Structure 1
Amino acid sequence: MISCISQYVSAQDAKDIVKQADNRMRGNTSQSEMIIKTMRATWTREMSLKAWMKGNDFAIILILSPVKDKGIVFLKRKKEVWNWLPTLERSIKLPPSMMSQSWMGTDFTNDDLVKESSVVEDYEHTLIGDTLFQKRSCYIIQMIPKQDAAVVWGKLIVFIDKKDLLELHCRFYDEEGELINTMNAYDITEMDGRLIPTRIEMIPSGKNNQKTEIIYKKVLFNRPIDDSFFTLDKMRSLN
């Protein structure tokens, strides 16, 4: 039995595992309401927002609060990422170099939120082992960026739950192999008919008492959203 299991696991397509885990959080489309908490040693800041996503090509994120940030919008349309600043009545196209920068002062990058890069298409995937994490048996998959891929990270190590194909842990390394961030996912709950982690924390390395949490309050999957929703005009008119 042990040898059969090991042969089955070694035959798994690592890319397919990553693709299924990615799709579980995305669906064909998703509409979500969430809270982002940024925690530091002496203060905590909370934002609420709504997000609409369609496949790998389209995303809109609208900030609802706090008041000073209300109405700020991020738009991803294929390989372009735009930011709408209502106080300036100005839209700004973000260059690829901005993808590694902090998103709104959190521990997530712009790329983490708007997903300019694709964990499925921009990396080579290797199944390197398995482990027990949060009492769940997980695949350990290493992801190295393809040579021509415009990505933020030099390497990712992810733990994906074998039973439900949930990404529960990810370590983000820079091009020199230094650990930069660690992500953990918790509070697995059924939302709109599928199990997903509803609390995701990002912890930067070497910074005590510092992390950011995303808490999903509501998610709808696979509701039709036309491509025309993801436009500069729509970005400016969401408020």
Structure 2
Amino acid sequence: MKTTVGILFLFLSFFANAQDATEIIKKVDQKMRGNSSSSNMTMKIIRPDWSREISMKGWTLGTNYSLILITAPARDQGTAFLKRDKEIWNWQPTIDRVVKLPPSMMSQSWMGSDFTNDDLVKESSVVHDYHHFIRGDSTIKGYDCWKLELIPKEDAAVVWGSIELFVSKKDYIELLIRYYDEEGYLINTMILSEIKEMDGRIIPTKMEMIPAETPKQRTVIIYNNIDFDIDVDESFFSIQKMKRIR
């Protein structure tokens, strides 16, 4: 009887921990995403012997719709990426062509950066595609944090084998993320910083992605501005809109 009660207690404790972790992830995701949003961003691709800067605009609606438009440099201007549910398209104005991206391309580099296609258009959902667990406490840049681990669900079509996430307890701010492959090897580390208030929310406005194998290179995305809960509906996220938007 004691053994049965002990097993039941451990099971309930495990379940409660998972539930708490999921609530943390939901709050983090909602804080950065909102019900909808529009943003203006700058991406800097940094290599030991060269660097490149890309300007872009982005729009989102929930977790199922997003649109990214490249506004500079001139050679990439007008290039756009659209996500509707699980389908993703790329508009290439220089060749007047729309390309549908297959799931196999989600782990590939986005615009030559250290971010993947999945990172930018968020095909996978950290809320719905992963199991969530609290693995302890930590301190990052003076912030008291939860250390969380995200393990993919069996039927989830995701890029990563696991994700390690550090979230501040006070404001639910992501500060550090580590991405691992299916064999447990560290692939990328993302450092989030420059915590500011934007449209009434305290968020990190700088994201720095660093590959484990080439730590001297990195890609930095800076939010110049972002507006949350904008007036936009599903019709905005269409192939026709992707081709016309400026």
TM over 0.5: yes
| Post-superposition offset of 1:209 | 1.6
Report the TM-score when normalising by structure 2.
0.92
Deviating 4+ runs (over 2 angstroms): 9-12
Aligned partner of 2:122: which letter?
Answer: K
Aligned partner of 1:162: which letter?
Answer: K
**Counterparts of 1:162 and 1:205, CA distance in 2:** 27
How many pairs does the alignment contain?
A: 231
Q: CA-to-partner distance for each residue in 1:198-219, whole Å, 9 max, x for gaps?
A: 0010000021320000000010
Give the corresponding residue for 1:46: 53
**Counterparts of 2:117 and 2:63, CA distance in 1:** 15
Give the corresponding residue for 1:210: 217
Q: CA-to-partner distance for each residue in 1:120-146, whole Å, 9 max, x for gaps?
A: 000000111010001000000100000
Give the corresponding residue for 2:130: 123
8 Å CA contact 2:118, 2:159 repeated in 1:
yes
**Counterparts of 2:230 and 2:177, CA distance in 1:** 28
**Counterparts of 1:12 and 1:109, CA distance in 2:** 29
Give the corresponding residue for 1:3: none
Q: Which residue of 174, 177, 180 maps to 2:184?
A: 177
Query: Which sections of structure 1, spanning at least 5 residues, go unmatched?
Result: 1-8
* Cα pair distance change 1:69/1:11, threshold 3 Å: closer
Give the corresponding residue for 2:92: 85
Alignment partner of 1:60 is 2:67: yes
Q: Which residue of 195, 206, 220 maps to 1:199?
A: 206
RMSD over aligned Cα atoms: 1.2
**Counterparts of 2:39 and 2:132, CA distance in 1:** 28
SS of equivalent to 1:209: coil
| Post-superposition offset of 1:167 | 1.0
SS of equivalent to 1:189: strand
Alignment partner of 1:15 is 2:22: yes
SS of equivalent to 1:151: coil
SS of equivalent to 2:58: strand
* Cα pair distance change 1:10/1:150, threshold 3 Å: closer
Farther off after superposition, 204-213 or 81-90 = 204-213
Structure exhibiting the larger radius of gyration computed from Cα positions: 2
Alignment partner of 1:157 is 2:158: no
* Cα pair distance change 1:10/1:94, threshold 3 Å: closer
**Counterparts of 1:11 and 1:113, CA distance in 2:** 27
Q: CA-to-partner distance for each residue in 1:150-190, whole Å, 9 max, x for gaps?
A: 00000000001100001111100001111000001000000
Give the corresponding residue for 1:70: 77
SS of equivalent to 2:52: strand
Q: CA-to-partner distance for each residue in 1:90-113, whole Å, 9 max, x for gaps?
A: 000000000000000000000000
**Counterparts of 1:11 and 1:96, CA distance in 2:** 28
SS of equivalent to 2:230: coil
